[in-house]
Structure 1
Amino acid sequence: MTAAAYQYADLPDASVVTTRALLTARENITDTVAARAMMCIHGGAGFGKTLAVNTCLRGLEPGEDVRRVTFRARPTARAVRYELFTALGLPGQPPRHPSEFDRLLKTALAERPRTFLVDEAQWLNGEAFEYFRYLWDEPSTRLAIVFVGGEGCHSVLRREAMLSSRIFIWQHFTRLTPAEVAEVIPLFHPLWADADPEDIAYADQHAAHGNFRNWARLTAHVRLALARTSRPRVDTDLLRWAFSRLGNPT
Structure 2
Amino acid sequence: MTTQLQLPYGPHWGTLASLDDVATVETDALLRLRVRVDEAIRRRTILVVTGRFGTGKSFGVARAVEERAPVHDVDVVWLEMQASTGQRDQWHELYYEIHGYYPAKSATIGDVIRMLKHDLAERPRVLVLDEAQEVHKQVSKQLRWLHEPKSSDFGLIFSGTPNLWHDLLPGAIRSRTGHHVKVKGLSDEDAVKLLPQFHPIFATADPDDLRRWNRTRARGSFRWWARILENAVDLLPHLDGKLTDRAMAVICADLPEGMS
Q: Same fold (TM over 0.5)?
A: yes
Aligned residues of 2:69 and 2:76 also touching (Cα < 8 A): no
Aligned residues of 2:24 and 2:198 also touching (Cα < 8 A): yes
d(CA) in 2 for partners of 1:169, 1:72: 24
Which residue identity does 2:43 align to in structure 1? Answer: A
**Stretches of structure 2 lacking an aligned partner (at least 5 in a row):** none
What do the CA deviations read for 1:64-101 (whole angstroms, capped 9, x no partner)? Answer: 21110111116544223201110102567436134432
d(CA) in 2 for partners of 1:128, 1:97: 14
- Shift in alpha-carbon separation, 1:164–1:174, aligned structure 2, 3 A: same
Aligned residues of 2:47 and 2:180 also touching (Cα < 8 A): yes
Which residue identity does 1:113 align to in structure 2? Answer: P
Q: CA deviation at 1:8?
A: 5.0
* 1:191 matches 2:191: no
RMSD: 2.3
**TM-score (ref. length: structure 1):** 0.88
* 1:102 matches 2:113: yes
- Shift in alpha-carbon separation, 1:195–1:118, aligned structure 2, 3 A: same
Which residue identity does 2:53 align to in structure 1? Answer: A
d(CA) in 1 for partners of 2:59, 2:46: 19
Runs of 4+ in 1 over 4 A off after TM superposition: 4-9
d(CA) in 1 for partners of 2:254, 2:234: 12
Match of 1:156 among 167, 171, 176: 167
Q: CA deviation at 1:203?
A: 2.4
Q: CA deviation at 1:235?
A: 1.7
Aligned residues of 2:49 and 2:182 also touching (Cα < 8 A): yes
Match of 1:147 among 158, 168, 171: 158
- Shift in alpha-carbon separation, 1:223–1:83, aligned structure 2, 3 A: same
Q: Secondary structure at the match of 1:245?
A: coil
Q: Secondary structure at the match of 2:253?
A: helix
- Shift in alpha-carbon separation, 1:234–1:78, aligned structure 2, 3 A: same
Match of 1:241 among 246, 250, 259: 250
Number of equivalenced pairs = 246
Aligned residues of 1:192 and 1:234 also touching (Cα < 8 A): yes
* 1:48 matches 2:53: no
d(CA) in 2 for partners of 1:225, 1:206: 22
Q: Which moved more, 1:73-82 or 1:143-152?
A: 73-82
Q: Secondary structure at the match of 2:252?
A: helix
* 1:203 matches 2:213: yes
**Stretches of structure 1 lacking an aligned partner (at least 5 in a row):** none
